[in-house]
């Protein structure tokens, strides 16, 4: 069993963005590459959970292992992606990142990983009073809670966090610019990212 596996979630349809946002470019890299790079130093292995429609794009550009959501939970959101990673790749901990946060960095990931402690099943940023469950570290024992949530059709990430012991890390603890946690969901977000000076501050 690995100590920690990095899991990139790219199972969404990117409907608001208008094209597969995992492959949008920022500073010479695809969005998904920024997330993978942020996890490399603290994870033993990185895997990609992909939407079926874009698997072939990942196969052409990535050397990482690529999985689609388990057929029994396919299309059920991020919980399905985490479920699939935990079912098919065994580890003690899982570093979960979405594919649409190109400003995420190694410093933030290291901070989350270093905050693990006995009895805590997840470490999640809470930045400017907003919880970011898709930038988090999850213990393997959360699998049973995820399985239960999916069976009961409770697909929101908060349905999981409300059931387990979570350690939330605040702005003051992480000491990162809150823009690093911004999801790029639309073309307007993408344009703002490209025109922003935020990257110089991170």
SS3 content of the chain, % helix, strand, coil (to 5): 40, 25, 35
| CA distances, 174 to each of 59, 114, 126 (Å) | 34, 11, 9
Distance from C-alpha of 98 to C-alpha of 73, rounded to nearest angstrom: 18
Q: What is the mean pLDDT of residues 128-149?
A: 96
**pLDDT score for 202:** 45
Annotated binding site, which residues? 9-11, 21, 69, 100
**pLDDT score for 201:** 43
Distance from C-alpha of 129 to C-alpha of 39, rounded to nearest angstrom: 24
Q: Is the pLDDT of residue 199 over 60?
A: no
**pLDDT score for 73:** 94
Annotated binding site for GTP, which residues? 9-11, 21, 69, 100
Q: What is the mean pLDDT of residues 156-169?
A: 96
Distance from C-alpha of 180 to C-alpha of 156, rounded to nearest angstrom: 22
| Per-residue pLDDT tens digits for 10-52 | 987 667 787 889 999 999 999 999 999 999 999 999 999 999 9
SS3 (DSSP) at 48: strand
User: pTM to 2 decimals?
Assistant: 0.93
Q: What is the mean pLDDT of residues 111-134?
A: 95
**pLDDT score for 191:** 87
**pLDDT score for 200:** 41
Q: Is the pLDDT of residue 148 over 70?
A: yes
- Who's near 199: CB < 8 A, 6+ residues apart? 27, 103
**pLDDT score for 83:** 97
Residues of the chain with pLDDT > 90, as a percent, come to 74
Domains (range + CATH), the chain: 2-201 (3.90.550.10)
Annotated binding site for Mg(2+), which residues? 100
Q: Is the pLDDT of residue 154 over 80?
A: yes
- At 40, phi and psi to the nearest 5? -55, -40
| Per-residue pLDDT tens digits for 55-72 | 999 999 999 999 999 999
Q: Is the pLDDT of residue 3 over 70?
A: yes
């Amino acid at each position: 069993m690995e100590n920690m596996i990095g899991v990139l979630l790219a199972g969404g349809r990117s409907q608001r963005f208008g094209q597969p946002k995992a492959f949008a470019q920022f500073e010479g890299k695809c969005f998904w590459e920024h997330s993978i790079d942020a996890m490399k130093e603290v994870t033993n292995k990185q895997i990609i959970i992909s939407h079926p429609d874009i698997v072939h794009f990942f196969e052409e550009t990535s050397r990482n292992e690529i999985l689609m959501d388990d057929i029994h939970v396919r299309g059920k959101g991020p919980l399905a992606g985490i479920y699939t990673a935990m079912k098919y790749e065994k580890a003690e901990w899982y570093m979960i990142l979405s594919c649409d946060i190109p400003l995420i960095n190694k410093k933030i990931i290291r901070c989350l990983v270093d905050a693990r402690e006995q009895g805590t099943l997840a470490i999640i940023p809470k930045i400017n009073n907003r919880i970011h469950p898709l930038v988090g570290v999850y213990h393997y024992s959360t699998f049973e809670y995820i399985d239960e949530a999916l069976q009961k059709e409770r697909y929101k990430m908060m349905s999981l966090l409300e059931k387990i012991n979570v350690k939330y890390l605040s702005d003051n603890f992480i000491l990162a610019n809150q823009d690093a946690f911004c999801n790029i969901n639309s073309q307007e977000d993408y344009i703002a990212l490209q025109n922003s000076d935020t990257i110089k501050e991170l």
